[in-house]
Chain A
Amino acid sequence: MAHAQTEAKPIVEREQALDWLRQMLVIRRFEERSAMLYQRQKIGGFCHLYSGQEACAVGSIGVLRDDDYVITAYRDHGHAIARGMDPKAGMAEMLGKAAGCSKGKGGSMHFFQVDRNFMGGHAIVGSHIPLAAGFAFASKYRGDDKVTLCFFGDGAMDQGALHEAFNMAGLWKLPVIYVVENNMMSMGTQLHRHSAVLDLTQRGGPPYGFSASIAVDANDVEAMAEVTLEAANRARAGEGPTFIEAKTYRYRGHSMSDPMKYRTKEELEKARERDPISLYEVVLRERGWVDDESLELMQAEVKEQIDEAIRFAEEAPEPELDEVYTDITVSPYIPQE
């Protein structure tokens, strides 16, 4: 596995590194406060939290261009924020408000932001994987050099849609990067109980003629950035797709309704010893880029940013009732009632 942060020369400048640390803090706080709002029944539906996986989204999205495409599954808040979504728009969506990133019609699992080419949060396991190939197909069709970055969980490895899309992506050498965030659990079913082959790099890239199939420690934000950047460069050069197995761990259940009886407290504590945010703080301290004072200031600013997002979301108006019939078709919609 690649370990970028052990290398002599970091792949990022100080300003970028601090921005990545801040993004991870924003995502963590956004998620932990969301859990509280869910428990208070302010957030409905299913709510899948990303805590523990922050380095994966931040490192990989962090090396993309603004005109590249990003798409993910239902555990989407972290990717949206890493792609530049204002936490206000995200939190308002969680609360179902008209000011939400999907006008309150998408909810936790369906965050979208077209002006950041953030192509959504998609809630049917594996169903968005062909869409990513479609964005990449369009890039190739047009002859531009945009790259598509597609995230999914290890559970999606078992879906036929993945196999079909991977085959065509490899066949047509599409500029797409597929990242499986392997948190070792398909809902509550551990990897060894849902996958016949435990090394996902064997299931992902080689059978489909991808340009590379790489496992990476996704608790290491710079390692994640490095492999993604290499993959993006290959894609832009016409060398086709890359499969990245991002080894990670989620602290929370599959969703907020999951009591997590399938794992022990000891396992969770062990995982927390390699917390991606703490690890990065250590690295940045060693480089002299942060100290106690600057970290405390950053944490206070992040706390205020999320408090402000929650205030905004709580005060935002509900959608009007006639909004139920808008955004169904581009042409004027005629309800067939």
Chain B
Amino acid sequence: MAVMQYREALNLAMTEEMERDDRVFLMGEEVAEYNGAYKVSQGMLDRFGDRRIIDTPISENGFAGIGIGAAMVGLRPIVEFMTFSFSYVAFDQLVNNAANMRYMSGGQFSVPIVFRGNSGIAGNLGATHSHRPEALYAHFPGLKVMMPSTPSDAKGMLKAAIRDDDPVIFIEHENLLGDKGEVSEDPDFVVPIGKADVKREGSDVTIITYSRSVITSLKAAEKLEEEGISAEVLDMRTIRPLDLDAILNSVTKTHRAIIVEENWPYCGIGAGVADRIYRAAFDELDAPIQRVTAKDAPLPYNRRLELDMLPSVERVVEAVNQVLYR
């Protein structure tokens, strides 16, 4: 084990997989000579050369499609979106080509590709650069969506994504990139796709969440503990396919659930998760599920307003109190 940043763990995952498999390469804007706009690919050009670490023009639709084409004929591309907000420029490639290719070819072509980059509410970036696209991509059969919350998960989950034979949308969080944690240096350490993780055990309420909201929820759980409430924090890790068993196991234990995400509320991740809990385990619930989301508005530039959009510790505590009828 070594202590490293989330961004270093992502770098290590890509580096190990590229050393293991020559078919893996990284392309995107500024990933090579600039060492990555967010320094996730620091040093990789020096290590692998410009055949495998490839700077692209600012042409998301084009290079996403080139990655998909390369994957269709047997390479294993990692395509970085500088921020995931820019993936919308390539939306057609991701949803019409990557998601559909296997199906509409009757299983003849697969697309083993990872689209990765950061997203999330952070840094006064205003409405265009702060998108949380996971609900959009999780909507499409054929795509897998993963969002790590810790450096350890960042490494293990990205390795699983690179090794997977299907297209994976791998969304990092801008505010987690500098977080430090213990990370396995075992090159075969992999966190499987579709496996949720109990980040904190508890018995009174389940907080279902992912990405940065895991950190917020853990802080909330500490605060709740001071008030004598035992909260379980369940990190979904993979948004699609959902680890419903893990969610139901926890809800069956605590009988109360809240869902915390940075998404907008309508048709957000929590909407889908709550629906599945209600239909699978309604009788287990002692209270209606509460949701903590971003407010239903575009992201404002102003710092005070931006912070107000975020699911805060206080809002998580308040939602827990609601399901406990306190």
Contacts and interface: CB of A to CB of B under 8 A. Distances in A.
Nearest to B63: A168
Interface stretch (B30-38, B96-104, B127-135, B225-233): B96-104
A114 B69 contact: no
A127 B93 contact: yes
Interface string A124-151: 1001111111111110010000000000
B70 A130 contact: no
Given A134-B71, A141-B75, A330-B166, A112 B65 contact: no
Contacts of B73: 69, 119, 134-135, 138
Contact of B272 (A163, A165, A336): A336
Interface in B45-79: 51, 56-57, 59, 61-75
Given A330-B110, A331-B164, A334-B194, A124 B57 contact: no
Given A124-B96, A167-B57, A329-B166, A134 B65 contact: yes
A89 B69 CA distance: 24
Interface string A115-127: 0000110101001
A112 to B, nearest CB: 4
A329 B102 contact: yes
Contact of A104 (B65, B69, B93, B106): B106
Interface residues of A, number: 47
B59 to A, nearest CB: 4
Given A171-B57, A331-B164, A105 B109 contact: no
A317 interface: no
A138 B69 contact: yes
B109 A334 contact: no
Nearest to A136: B69
A331 B143 CA distance: 11
B65 A131 contact: yes
Interface string A84-106: 00000000000000001111111
Given A119-B72, A124-B96, A336-B241, A114 B65 contact: no
B75 A133 contact: no
A113 B108 contact: yes
Given A161-B61, A164-B57, A329-B144, A131 B72 contact: yes
Nearest to A140: B51
B16 interface: no
Nearest to A330: B165
Nearest to A71: B69
Contacts of A127: 65, 92-93, 96-97
Interface in B177-227: 193-194
B82 to A, nearest CB: 16
Contacts of A164: 57, 59, 61-63, 65
B218 to A, nearest CB: 27
Contacts of A138: 69-70, 73-75
Contacts of B63: 130, 164, 168
A134 B108 contact: no
Contacts of B112: 330
B22 to A, nearest CB: 9
A168 B103 contact: no
B194 A112 contact: no
A301 interface: no
Contacts of A333: 141
Contacts of B75: 138, 141
A115 to B, nearest CB: 8
Contacts of A110: 104-105
A167 B59 contact: yes
A160 interface: yes
Contact of A168 (B25, B62, B105): B62
A103 B92 CA distance: 24
B69 A133 contact: yes
A141 B65 CA distance: 16
B237 interface: no
A69 B66 CA distance: 14
Contact of A100 (B51, B59, B106, B241): B106
Q: Max chain A CB contacts within 10 Å: which of B51, B64, B70, B164?
A: B70
A199 interface: no
B166 A130 contact: no
Contacts of B69: 130-138
A328 interface: yes
A165 B106 contact: no
Given A165-B65, A331-B166, 11 more contacts: A102-B104, A105-B103, A105-B104, A131-B68, A134-B69, A137-B69, A164-B59, A165-B66, A168-B62, A330-B102, A331-B165
24 contacts: A100-B106, A102-B108, A105-B104, A105-B105, A106-B105, A112-B108, A112-B109, A124-B96, A130-B69, A131-B68, A131-B69, A160-B61, A161-B62, A161-B65, A164-B62, A164-B63, A165-B66, A168-B63, A168-B66, A329-B165, A329-B166, A331-B165, A333-B141, A336-B241
Interface of A: 69, 100-106, 110, 112-114, 119-120, 122, 124, 127-138, 141, 160-161, 163-165, 167-168, 171, 326-331, 333-336
